[in-house]
Structure 1
Amino acid sequence: MTLTPDLARHFAAIALGHVVRPYPCKDDHVLDGEDDVRAPRLAHPVFYGSYDWHSCVHGWWTLLTLRRRHPAMPEAAAIAALAGDTFTTAKLAVERAYLDRPSSRGFERPYGWGWLLALHHEAERHPDQPWGDRLAPLAKAFAARLHDYLAVLTYPITVGTHGNTAFALILARRWALDHDAALVTRIDTWAERVFADRRDYRGWEPGGDEFLSPVLTAALLLADIRPPATFTPWFRALVVDNGWIDRECRPVTVSDRSDGKIAHLDGLNLSRAWCLRRIAGVVDDETLREPLRRRADEHVAAALPHVAGDYMGEHWLASFALLALLGEDGAL
């Protein structure tokens, strides 16, 4: 399963339909007083759509990624025009100023932070446009917050939802490789400290509202950090030798796609596929590669027909489908 031109156009049409859709909106906003009551668009003139701030960020990542990979598709011009109207210096300055509120210390931490860095990384791959330069101050602000956060984060957050530490660090590290060597070192040191001794995974996965695999996101982070010779035996001891991949890592059932939390499970199928494909491209054990790829394909097949439909999934699932379909080709 690959990103075909037809699928690229389909994903682009979905994301174009929601990155500027202001309502419904789930606002991550702490009110310090009556003066903080406002419409979301006033505080977030760039990322006000897509139901919530982080989904709007990765909706834009989806659009820019599709524009770069399929520049001849008709939607590419619409993406560029909309991005030109959206990623202005003035609007991005408002987004940046919001972070200076004392109550914004934990705003979108860490999921939105990782995705904003991924968006900036992608924006820089469009040299015909100023988007990368304009997003840079916001990206640097989140990177600075991530430095400080890892300095005080004693334990990883291993849930399958937005608090997941490993997923955010995967996104952030790929940005940092080009922008912040000190952040790469901090991420690598922190990840080795908290994950190096993990083995024989027996977690109760999936949870009923998860869109990330706690164990596979941690594994993918280590796959990015370690050489294959040391990553492969660690991965085997974590989820292969105990039978978890074969026994438990199966496509999950989504019973109600109109329920925003239960709809997360379509994302779990897609994010697992992304992790499995990426890991298959890293392990140096030939006996692991094809089984991991087959399991990834099973997860994609279960979720791909449901990327569009109900807005509870439609406002974000195309991003995870794009991750899954690009897989070993590299979506970030």
Structure 2
Amino acid sequence: MKKIISLLIVIFILGCKGERKEGLEDVPALENDSLSEESFISESFLSEEEVKFNLEEANRLAELPLGCIETEYPNKLGQTLENEEALGTPQELHPAFYGCFDWHSSVHAHWSLVSLLKQFPDLEKEEMIKEKLKNSLSAENILAEVEYFKRPQSDSYERTYGWAWLLKLAEELKTWEDPLAEELDANLQPLTDLIVERYLEFLPKLNYPIRVGEHANTAFAMSFGYDFATSTRNDELREAISKRARDFYLSDDNCPVSWEPGGYDFLSPCLQEVDIMLRILPKNAFNLWIDDFMPELKDEDFTMEVGEVSDRSDGKLVHLDGLNFSRAWVFYHLANKYPEEFGHLRTLANEHVSYSFPNLVGDSYEGGHWLGSFAIYALQAASEK
């Protein structure tokens, strides 16, 4: 029987206490001879039981966003044209985020570079990366991005996936103790403020969560938004997300994880919901909730087969490599926060990373323009024990 009443009581008591996507079939491989599949992975990375993120891998991963943030074409603009004057080249329309095939991929490519610099200050191409970040994230470029979002037909532009990654980029800058980060964060602030406003406007109007394995997934967007709100002490946004997550997910039972993955998934609908509830619920409440939603996660024998990609020249099918990374970061989050209950999931996370990591390069633009960000976020989660 559903333990929702008990769960609500626990919450009350504790609260009182204080792609590459379609259209890229003919895109050539990234032109970087140093990124062959054979050379991309160090012997120590996947040869041991524990996945280890080190400077050697960071240097290689940095090549992926560096290889696309200034690559304007091919490009999927995803815009609604209000008139003929709305037309423009990608760089004209999005001077900060025009590369990497689409806007959101460009945003998280920039996040990747910031994240790698924060974790590994001795990156080989540190100066080049900093210069490219300064060029992209100039005050002038960001104001142009803001103006695009304010177009009459752009209220829902990049909702909510691109919004989430923009806040993740802002969070990374705000938590990076470096003079460049302060400069870039100040430049980005007008767009950050606008995206926060969009969250606060949209979430109360969304009557039902979007439970899909691609961009529109509500739980994913709320997870990244919640991280930003927590890091920046934005209580209004944090409370708005917390409330909607409870509204959407608190009474959920028996997530049909056996239905996953969908053929184009790069997110797990079940696990993304776990990820947001892990953030907002106190421990006792989360344990009660997970016992109803996905109790199998507590089973030390629980397993989940990796998502297998049949054709890495297909921009949608390659999404499954992203699924493996996103599953892994949820498993790592669970194992990190509650090791006694979920520590065994770290091995499963490592298996998912180990399957897809060798496929980040060596194919085409399919994975190169976005998968590196997913890998970096998963590896970052793995290191946060």
Gaps of 5+ in 2: 1-50
Separation of aligned partners in 1, 2:304 and 2:372: 22
- One-letter amino acid of the counterpart of residue 304, structure 1: F
**Count of residue pairs the alignment pairs up:** 329
Q: Kindly indicate whether residue 317 of structure 2 is the aligned counterpart of residue 262 of structure 1.
A: yes
**1:60 aligned to which of 105, 110, 114:** 110
**2:295 aligned to which of 240, 247, 257:** 240
Does the aligned pair in 2 maintain the 1:250–1:295 contact within 8 Å?
no
- Three-state SS of the structure 2 residue aligned to 1:102 is coil
Q: Kindly indicate whether residue 210 of structure 2 is the aligned counterpart of residue 210 of structure 1.
A: no
- So what's the TM-score if we normalise by structure 2? 0.82
Q: Deviations over 1:61-105 (max 9, x none)?
A: 000010111111212111101111121111111001111111101
- One-letter amino acid of the counterpart of residue 239, structure 1: M
- Three-state SS of the structure 2 residue aligned to 1:50 is coil
**Alignment-derived partner of residue 230 in structure 1:** 285
Does the aligned pair in 2 maintain the 1:201–1:244 contact within 8 Å?
no
**2:136 aligned to which of 86, 91, 97:** 86
1:282, distance to aligned residue in structure 2 (A): 2.2
**1:317 aligned to which of 371, 375, 379:** 371
Q: Kindly indicate whether residue 359 of structure 2 is the aligned counterpart of residue 306 of structure 1.
A: yes
- Three-state SS of the structure 2 residue aligned to 1:20 is coil
- Three-state SS of the structure 2 residue aligned to 1:119 is helix
Q: Deviations over 1:160-198 (max 9, x none)?
A: 000001111111111112142111001001101110111
- One-letter amino acid of the counterpart of residue 333, structure 2: R
- One-letter amino acid of the counterpart of residue 169, structure 2: L
Does the aligned pair in 1 maintain the 2:268–2:327 contact within 8 Å?
yes
Q: Deviations over 1:140-178 (max 9, x none)?
A: 100100001001001110100000011111111111121
- One-letter amino acid of the counterpart of residue 151, structure 1: P
Question: RMSD over aligned Cα, in angstroms?
Answer: 1.8
Gaps of 5+ in 1: none
Q: How does 1:1-332 map to 2 (within 5 A)?
A: 1-124=51-174, 125-129=176-180, 130-177=183-230, 178-203=232-257, 204-241=259-296, 249-283=304-338, 286-290=340-344, 292-309=345-362, 310-330=364-384
1:208, distance to aligned residue in structure 2 (A): 0.5
Separation of aligned partners in 2, 1:231 and 1:121: 25
- So what's the TM-score if we normalise by structure 1? 0.95
Change beyond 3 A, Cα 1:217–1:245: farther
Change beyond 3 A, Cα 1:280–1:236: farther
The higher-RCO structure (CA 8 Å, 6+ apart) is: 2
1:288, distance to aligned residue in structure 2 (A): 3.0
